[in-house]
Amino acid sequence: MHIYHSVSECNTPTQTIVTIGTFDGVHLGHKTLIQELNKIAFESSLTAVILTFNPHPRLVIFPDDNGLQLLNTLEEKIELFRTSGVQHLIIHPFTKEFSRLSSADFVRNILHNQLKVKKLIIGHDHHFGRNRQGSIAELEELAPLYDFEVTQLNEVTIGNTVISSTKIRNALLDGKVEVANKYLGYSYALTGAVIHGKKLGRTLGFPTANMAVVNTKLIPSNGVYAVTVTINDEPITYYGLLSIGNRPTFDNGEKSVEVFIINFDRDIYERTITVTLQHFLRTDQKFNSADELITQMKKDKVQAEEIFGVR
């Protein structure tokens, strides 16, 4: 996969077929779009190009809104594009100046003049340009002027549900990790460095690795999850229990993300780990004593071991 960090870097020898978006999650709907992009590119002898943006447009347009929660970091998104068969990926800087570009100027200056677009393929809810004013109707008006074709794909559904990044975020915030994973087409994961915490788990017989997760990454609903764990420079998969919450039995303090790794006893401070959420086990709750919590954690461990078939 060829990666370019601005539109001007992408100088393909042939005309292109392009799709555009933020692609948060690179979910099953996005993958259907990518498959169609590659199919048409092959049939039409065009170069397939995905145009996305960094940082996320909302961070630039609404800089004081700190509530943005993304399904992917940029690194995760790049890897998902790679495994989805993307040929050419442009990660264009999204700036205030770029956000003011009208939809007509975007088509003329970016798609036509720089990317030599011959075909444009977009999702069912696509908008672009200043204030997202550009629509499929405007694209269909502009296409003949700049000699390209535009195709809009239908929404992708599972059952009666249209797959979208918003629905996946909502599922994760409701603790419905299995639903989110179904819509994503892969299991949702959190990656972060292991940091020092309050070491409460150690006193309970369940030592945990506290994780520092990038602050724009969506943290699922408080609760306990059965997870797989990898230490990023090791080819081994471990099993564990991920706890997200405020430690209500003890101090009801700041939200923490910490994982107990089953059958594991090593110092991994400052190492980067990835936990992949497989099943939601229970909500975060306050127990009357540490002993009650320990009893429940033992049950959680047994349940996770049964899920993964390990002892």
Percent of residues, the chain, with pLDDT higher than 90: 64
Residue 293 pLDDT exceeds 70: yes
More reliable by pLDDT, 24 or 62: 24
Q: What's the rounded mean pLDDT across residues 231-247?
A: 90
Q: What's the rounded mean pLDDT across residues 44-52?
A: 96
Residue 217 pLDDT exceeds 90: yes
Contacts 24+ apart (CB under 8 A), 196-204: 196/269, 197/256, 197/258, 198/247, 200/247, 200/250, 201/258, 201/260, 203/290, 204/290, 204/293, 204/294, 204/297
d(CA 39, CA 299): 49
Residue 131 pLDDT exceeds 60: no
pLDDT for the residue numbered 65: 73
pLDDT band for position 248 (50/70/90)?
A: low
Q: What's the rounded mean pLDDT across residues 231-252?
A: 85
pLDDT for the residue numbered 134: 60
pLDDT band for position 203 (50/70/90)?
A: low
d(CA 294, CA 148): 64
Residue 66 pLDDT exceeds 70: no
pLDDT for the residue numbered 68: 79
Mean pLDDT score of the chain:
90
pLDDT for the residue numbered 291: 84
Return the closest-CA partner of residue 223 out of 180, 261, 279: 279
pLDDT for the residue numbered 240: 96
Return the closest-CA partner of residue 18 out of 41, 44, 43, 42: 41
Residue 112 pLDDT exceeds 60: yes
Angle between helices 177-184 and 165-173 (to 10 degrees): 160
